[in-house]
Amino acid sequence: MAFAVAIAALFADPVLAKAAEYLPKGGLGGWAVRVIAKQPDTLTSFGEARLHNTTTLFDIQVVEVPTPKVGDQVTVDGATYIVQAEPVADRERLVWTLDVVPL
């Protein structure tokens, strides 16, 4: 319980998290959420080549979006992103990590 309160405090922090709108696939009404944006670089091997990729990930609380799906949309700072891969939950199932691409 205390860990869930700490996670909620992180998402309430105006420096760490941003206001966003979450829109499920099919566009049946969106709602306001808070996201923590991450843009880590990844290295992918393809045969003998190694590819350097920039990714965009959003962390979002499970209490705000219980069942995110591929194809859902997130709008942050006027830019819209689409969820491109199956969302991954943390060990405590309090936070989803969404792999997104600009729409």
Residue numbers in the chain where pLDDT is lower than 70: 1
Q: Where are the domains of the chain?
A: 2-102
Q: How far apart are CA 20 and CA 33, in angstroms?
A: 5
- Can you tell me whether residue 47 is helix, strand or coil? coil
The Cβ of residue 70 has, within 10 Å, a number of other Cβ atoms equal to 13
> What share of the chain in percent tops pLDDT 70?
99
- At residue 47, the pLDDT reads 87
- 62-88, pLDDT tens digit by residue? 999 999 999 999 999 999 999 999 999
Domain 2-102 bears CATH identifier 3.20.20: no
